[in-house]
Chains A and B, each alone.
Chain A
Amino acid sequence: MPEKKVVLRNCGVIDPKRITTYLARDGFKALKKALSEMTPEQVIEEIKASGLRGRGGGGFLCGLKWELARKSKGDEKYIIANADEGEVGTFKDRHILENDPFTLIEAMAIAGYAIGAKSGYIYLRAEYHYLLDSLKKAIGQAKKKGLLDFDIDIREGAGAYVCGEETALMESIEGKRGEIRYRPPFPPSRGLWEKPTIINNVETLMNIPRIILNGANWFNQIGTEESKGTKVFSVSGDVKRPGVYELVLGSRLKELVEDLALAEKVKMVQVGGATGRILPYDMIDTPLSFETILGSGAVIVLDKSRDVIDVVYKTLEFLAEESCGKCAPCREGTEVMIEILERFSKGEGLESDLRILPELSNVMMLSSLCGLGQAAPYPVIDSLQYFRSAYENRIREKGGVMI
């Protein structure tokens, strides 16, 4: 399936500093249409019918989330655009914010109208502080032109991966440690300051104006049964052309990695970043969709010169550092995994480790509070499944390293 620009249609076309260039590309027409021709319920129905699912990694149905928030009682509700793009190897939202801040702003206003919120936040990661100014200016221009009857404030993070998780993100906006909340209640019923709240990934929101203008049926025809629309992928690692690519959902990993990013001698691909999956080369024909693998759309390519234990070790080191520490399975589990992986990286693995790793993985997946701990074992599980010999060759009793 081909490349198709829905989310990125304005990137590189408009001048992100001048709202007039956005207006010339149907800018703010979707908001106008929603406000003048549709009831909030109709907006929600349209988004529901489109089949749009969350692009941050969770894949929850966007329209359903909105409906839950709409039905929640309360006159104070919030929209949050999650721009805390911390997943390793993900930089699509940076690209979007750099090139087309206006679509995001328009989408937030549409979401606000749909659920009955008058204000919202963009939660921007501290690492992207250099984007703050242009975002503020974009909001300012929309306000000045009288296009935006919706308040948007920008809140910045302070360096914490876990704040990309929606409940930790809300804690952070409230000025607290970015620790996970227990669920339920879910944010659409009780979120920011206990008020009904929608948290959508930047890329998810970028789809909204097009769906309103072109209709759910148009969107629905793109993609697969369970995965409608396109996905923006961030490709890095051992490729000739790293960068951002937008493909129709269901496109094959091979198209992205080999045909577009021009990778050669691929050994494995990590899809979805640190909490994503590791696929060996013989699965390169896997379609990229919610039914198969997707995550945040981070695609890190590793060629034949790479060592799988290095990759898994690096990944777990990251997750252990970024665990918020609230629940024991994640806080302790990631540390123990590192201890074990360190042994393997030195050629000092133990036979018993190969039994402990899957056992520990199960506990973490079952009992961690959020996606971080639940998905942290994936790189371990996948590498044990597809590259087991890499581990076996590094067991101390067998004589250690064999490279």
Chain B
Amino acid sequence: MNKAREKLPIQGKGQEDLLELLKEAQNRSGYLSEKTIVKIAKSLDIPISDVYGVATFYSFLSTKPQGKNIIRVCKSLPCFLKNSETIIKSVEEELGIKPGETTPDGKFAFQLTNCIGACDKAPAMLINNDVYTDLTPRKISQILKTCE
């Protein structure tokens, strides 16, 4: 990031790195704690409220602790037409949690997400950064077993 700034000298920086810093912090500790948010605000010299505002705007950022593996099943129309509801149900059954919840052991967080651009291979989901397509309940069971 610093390299990018050297290359592109611009005014109004400061906040430029915020989104990247938040993502890095979340990658390290799984979520953005109050402490982290305050620390980042101070380091960039911008108001805490601005940092909190950004942290809560984007759906891939979280201010609450999340599971180690984040499952995001697509709930948008093309996946819905290919029975994404069955997929949602089988994740629920496999993990014993509902969308929006995290397993007690902290291994999985289960979320529903909007279109992930894999509609030609619907139903689809993301686990962390990887995309899984043409899902069936059987596949769900297999995929979840391979997660560490």
Contacts and interface: CB of A to CB of B under 8 A. Distances in A.
B29 to A, nearest CB: 16
A300 B57 contact: no
B119 A193 contact: no
What secondary structure prevails in chain A residues at the interface with B? mixed
Interface stretch (A59-67, A213-221, A313-321, A329-337): A313-321
Given A237-B78, A300-B77, A300-B78, A158 B59 contact: yes
A238 to B, nearest CB: 6
A45 to B, nearest CB: 29
B36 to A, nearest CB: 15
A85 B16 contact: no
B8 interface: yes
B89 interface: no
Contacts of A129: 129
B127 to A, nearest CB: 11
Interface residues of A, number: 58
B143 interface: no
B148 interface: no
Contacts of A89: 76-78, 115, 119
Nearest to B17: A175
B130 to A, nearest CB: 6
A88 B77 contact: yes
Interface residues of B, number: 41
Contacts of B57: 160, 177-179, 324
B132 to A, nearest CB: 11
A322 B113 CA distance: 11
A314 to B, nearest CB: 5
B76 A234 contact: no
A195 B10 contact: yes
Contacts of B8: 119, 151, 153
Contacts of A172: 19
A88 B22 CA distance: 27
Interface in A68-117: 76, 85-91, 93-94
Given A130-B130, A172-B19, A193-B10, A87 B115 contact: yes
A176 B50 CA distance: 8
Contact of B81 (A90, A93, A237): A237
Given A175-B18, A176-B54, A193-B11, A159 B113 contact: yes
B85 to A, nearest CB: 11
Contact of A311 (B22, B53, B77, B129): B77
Interface string B41-58: 000000000100110011
Interface string A162-194: 000000000011111111000000000000011
8 pairs of A and B residues whose beta carbons are closest in the complex: A158-B58, A159-B60, A159-B59, A175-B18, A236-B119, A236-B78, A175-B15, A177-B57
Given A157-B60, A302-B81, 7 more contacts: A153-B4, A158-B58, A158-B59, A160-B59, A236-B81, A237-B119, A314-B80
Interface of A: 76, 85-91, 93-94, 119, 125-130, 151, 153, 155-161, 172-179, 193-195, 234-238, 242-244, 270, 273-274, 300, 302, 306, 311, 314-315, 318, 321-322, 324
